[in-house]
Structure 1
């Protein structure tokens, strides 16, 4: 699913109006009906008090139109217009007149107006500002927003939490609505998925308002949201007449004294994800632990007893995943550098491999094209340097990717895969994944997919999706706190199976069609 900028969304509106021979008021009415249907389906006429806080632009117009539909269906409403400007949009004014025709008289708030009472049992509709906000709200409006946030009421934001910008960081955290639910028109917004701005959107849902499919299909978006439908097209099925060599030979390289577990997890994840052959390359202290615990994995050892000293690989793997548990001693750094000089196979680099590169940035020029780097935020900062905010981080990541022709997997609550100027935002995963070894598992999974001939960018995207989905399946029985890296590996098989599971309702509809 594409994630468009505010400018592109406005263009989609205009394209739709021309294509469907309609005016902006009619499009606003379509949006308000979708808002009403969502609320009505859940409230079913319940007489909970609904307070609609409306601005004087088009977002406020959506709120006024929603208020009309709620009133017509017998809901207990109160409309509050926050009069923050003398300039009002035509569609806001048109909906205001239609409210007055129905004897609904909004309460107008001005800078000298006291704050309205809000009960914690009420529902608040936030329709103050939409996607066009380009400056922080005035101080008195910020106080209203802070009042909403402190009320304890259930807050539903229209399109985007008021106070958020779509293309830059928040200037005043107290002047942004903290929404329990966001009803976003047609497209998700990038701010829903970034750590600094995502905290204002507890949950979100897309309301289809019928914008032009032609515009959506022909317009490029710099970011895409990745779910089951997107990755299903990546899946390469297994053929009947195939063998283990068909699905590639992966090498997992890393480990040091006390950190052999990282290689064990990555190797097990690698073979569980489908690599035909998996070899592990470790210092000598890792031989017995790996050989005895992973019978499916072949083990090669370095000359070093407790750390990697001189990488000498006698096999020719299809892909190498390296860096996990490796350590960053001077001798290991030297071995890593010399290995890159003679490298031919594609690479996935994580953990200490990234840290070694951060200590010697010239190594970046030695990486094969489309090497996949999988940093967590701390490792990313060591690679890129400090950033001002999440938007700056994404721009720096894109530039880094272009400069070194590499793929960045920015691990976070919503992991983002960056290649060149394109970003792919993952939808799977949960807080339980904040556990030791989770990143090692991801390294093994991506390495495995590359060995199976998935293109590097698709291997990264698909691997991230499956990793998160495996964890989502695991927590259904374990909960967040008990989730372990091993449990994530155990969820890989079910995550693959889940790609082809049809929800019960869809299965029923399919049966009816047949």
Structure 2
């Protein structure tokens, strides 16, 4: 799913109005009706008090359309205009006049804290104060209104975006923003729904189709894409009946040190379970018996050193090499890695201590093959790109780092983001159960195993992150968040593959309101 920028949404609105020969007011009517349909399907006429707070721009106009349809369908509605400025948008004014035609109880004009209404915990708040166009500080009394919403503990539904948020900034104060229980976003979700600094402002979100021009939606390239099942399914390459292990490549996992051979074991298992034809592990001598006994499917080669990686020599011709897990940052290991990079032409995936070595000796970045994949956790990423002010700043730094060194960066987190130059791919699978030792080693192995089979590095990163998270989502149903361990993620990778082809259960379509001869 594409995630459109604020500027692209504005352009889409204009193109839709032009190509469909409708006015911006008619497009606003569509949006308001879609919000009404969403609420109507869930409320089914319930007489819970609904408080609709409208700003004086187009977001407020959407709120007025919603309020009008709620009123005409017999709901218990109170409408408020949050009068924070003397300026009004044209479509707001049109819909302000229209709502007067369906009720004797005109919207209450709010200008200060004394105007705040009493709201009970069982009521519903609709936040239609500010939209994506907010580009100035919120006045103090409106901030106080947002705090008032939160104190009531009433369910809060935001239209398009929680008011007070801007699409490319983190709020300086969390009290300056509406905390929404649900946000209905037009055309596409917003990037800020997936970043730790801003995701907390909406518990859940949903996209509403307001009929934007199909050609615009299809042909417009976006900087950000949301990755789910239907995005990765076309990436999947099925196997032929007469295929054999030689067709799926040979993954070489290099890493480990005394006491940290488990990381190599997990990564090797992850690579083979992801579909690599062959997996070899290159480890210090102390890891030989561990790997041979715990993972007999792997072939094992050893360093001359008993406890660390000191001299990377192997006799095979791998399809892809993964380096770094459990390797440590001993001077001998750093030197061995540098010598290896100077000779290597094979695609690379680098994690853990491989990343720490690159951070210590950044000149080595020049030796990495183009489209090498780095899979850092937050601290490893910080060592590579430097400190950041907030999540938006972090992504800008990662994009610049990716462009400069021609690398693919997998920014691990709840919504793991794969970055290739200016492009962001946000993953939708995974859960807090992955917050445990070894799951990153498994992800590293899965991505390596996908490249081994012939997937290009970007696809391997996106697909690997999805499969890894989906496996955890399936496994957590049996183990729960606290008891999920890295080995479980490997064990459920097969089910994650199978899930790609499961059909969703059919849902009954809700009855919708139509707009004067035109279906919304």
TM-score range, shorter chain: over 0.9
Q: Distance in 2 between matches of 1:88 and 1:467?
A: 49
Within-5 A mapping of 1:381-392 = 381-392=382-393
**1:281 pairs with 2:282:** yes
Aligned partners of 1:357 and 1:363 also within 8 Å: yes
Within-5 A mapping of 1:341-356 = 341-356=342-357
Aligned partners of 2:318 and 2:346 also within 8 Å: yes
Q: Distance in 2 between matches of 1:48 and 1:421?
A: 46
3-state DSSP of counterpart to 1:167: coil
Give the number of equivalent residue pairs.
507
Deviation per CA, 1:180-203, whole angstroms, max 9, x where unpaired? 111001111111111111111211
Q: Distance in 2 between matches of 1:209 and 1:165?
A: 22
Aligned partners of 1:136 and 1:175 also within 8 Å: no
Aligned partners of 1:256 and 1:307 also within 8 Å: yes
Return the offset for 1:262. 0.7
What corresponds to 2:69 in structure 1?
A: 69
Q: Distance in 1 between matches of 2:113 and 2:236?
A: 60
3-state DSSP of counterpart to 2:268: helix
**1:92 pairs with 2:92:** yes
Q: Distance in 1 between matches of 2:10 and 2:506?
A: 35
What corresponds to 1:359 in structure 2?
A: 360
More displaced 10-residue stretch of structure 1: 162-171 or 442-451 = 162-171
3-state DSSP of counterpart to 1:295: coil
3-state DSSP of counterpart to 1:388: coil
Return the offset for 1:112. 5.3
Return the offset for 1:258. 1.3
Structure 2 portions without partners, runs of 5+: 509-520
Within-5 A mapping of 1:35-114 = 35-102=35-102, 103-111=104-112, 113-114=114-115
More displaced 10-residue stretch of structure 1: 342-351 or 473-482 = 473-482
Within-5 A mapping of 1:66-215 = 66-102=66-102, 103-111=104-112, 113-215=114-216
Return the offset for 1:504. 2.8
TM-score by length of 2: 0.96
Structure 1 portions without partners, runs of 5+: 508-514
Return the offset for 1:111. 2.7
Aligned partners of 1:224 and 1:425 also within 8 Å: yes
3-state DSSP of counterpart to 1:91: helix
Aligned partners of 2:113 and 2:145 also within 8 Å: no
Deviation per CA, 1:461-491, whole angstroms, max 9, x where unpaired? 0001111111111112222111111111112
Q: Distance in 1 between matches of 2:405 and 2:338?
A: 17
Q: Distance in 2 between matches of 1:479 and 1:22?
A: 51
Aligned partners of 2:49 and 2:77 also within 8 Å: yes
Return the offset for 1:318. 0.4
What corresponds to 2:403 in structure 1?
A: 402
**1:315 pairs with 2:321:** no
Return the offset for 1:58. 0.6
Return the offset for 1:169. 2.3
TM-score by length of 1: 0.97
Return the offset for 1:114. 4.1
Q: Distance in 2 between matches of 1:151 and 1:327?
A: 52
3-state DSSP of counterpart to 1:202: strand
- For the aligned residue pairs, the C-alpha RMSD in angstroms reads 1.2
